[in-house]
Amino acid sequence: MRGVQRIEEEPVRVLGIVGSLRRESYNRKLLQAAQRLAPANMQIVEARLEGIPLFNPDRGIPVPTAVQRLKERIRTADAVLIATPEYNYSIPGVLKNALDWMSYPPAENPFDGKPVGLIGATTGNFGTLRAQLHLRQILAYLNADVLTRPEVLVARVGEKLDPNGHITDPVAQELLQQLLQALSRRVVERRVLRLLHAC
């Protein structure tokens, strides 16, 4: 069991993806709150979507460099944390576009079996609930290992910032911490399973 204890102490590397290109994105602020609240052994680094071209299978071989790089960053991360806005009851096109690239070609899908946490902030009343449901559906096709609890839905986010622009809402912070701990546990569980399979 010494191997299991060592696994629990290993760093957990999380790739953060924000589904908004907006400079003052609330969802990036939410990801930044997650970075501040992450457990000591967890590091969350953002991969930005600005350089991802519009999906076109005609441009799929060779895969554009920015797409290849995102695939590699997801593949080598222990887990992914997606902070998405809600646009017209769904996820923004920039995020769907990036996920379409990740799914193509299917044999190179870096989300296959990857632990994923979802978070979202909206200026509206429902905290990206509908967007997250759509995102779960998309990630089900990609065979990602998406956590179901807790749901981190930050409604009326514009009222939940401190003077530094940090999201300091105690409920949001508590839910974020719970989600990050659950994500860390899922990563450890997968490592233990790999260890057992290797024995």
Ligand X SMILES: Cc1cc2nc3c(=O)[nH]c(=O)nc-3n(C[C@H](O)[C@H](O)[C@H](O)COP(=O)(O)O)c2cc1C
Residue of the chain from 27, 32, 109, 184 that contacts ligand X (CB under 6 A) = 27
Helix (H, G, I), strand (E, B) or coil at 50: coil
21 versus 171: smaller Cβ distance to ligand X: 21
Which residues are CB-neighbours of 143 under 8 A, at least 6 positions away? Answer: 109, 111, 112, 113
Residue of the chain from 3, 4, 8, 22 that contacts ligand X (CB under 6 A) = 22
12 versus 95: smaller Cβ distance to ligand X: 95
22 versus 59: smaller Cβ distance to ligand X: 22
> How far is CA 46 from each of CA 16, 81, 142, 187, rounded to the nearest angstrom?
4, 9, 21, 18
Q: Is 87 in the site for ligand X (CB under 6 A)?
A: yes
Query: Within a 10 A sphere around the Cβ of 194, how many other Cβ atoms?
Result: 10
CB 83 within 8 Å of CB 18: yes
67 versus 119: smaller Cβ distance to ligand X: 119
Residue of the chain from 89, 165, 193, 195 that contacts ligand X (CB under 6 A) = 89
Least Å from the CB of residue 65 to ligand X: 26
Which positions from 137 through 196 interact with ligand X, judged by CB under 6 A? none
Q: Is 48 in the site for ligand X (CB under 6 A)?
A: no
Q: Is 32 in the site for ligand X (CB under 6 A)?
A: no
Radius of gyration of the chain (CA): 17
Which residues are CB-neighbours of 180 under 8 A, at least 6 positions away? Answer: 34, 37, 38, 39, 42, 81, 117
Q: Is 16 in the site for ligand X (CB under 6 A)?
A: no
CB 84 within 8 Å of CB 118: yes
Least Å from the CB of residue 91 to ligand X: 10
Q: At CA 31, angle to CA 29 and CA 33, rounded to 5? A: 70
Q: Is 132 in the site for ligand X (CB under 6 A)?
A: no
Applying CB under 6 A, the residues found at the interface with ligand X are 20, 22, 25-27, 85-89, 122-124, 126
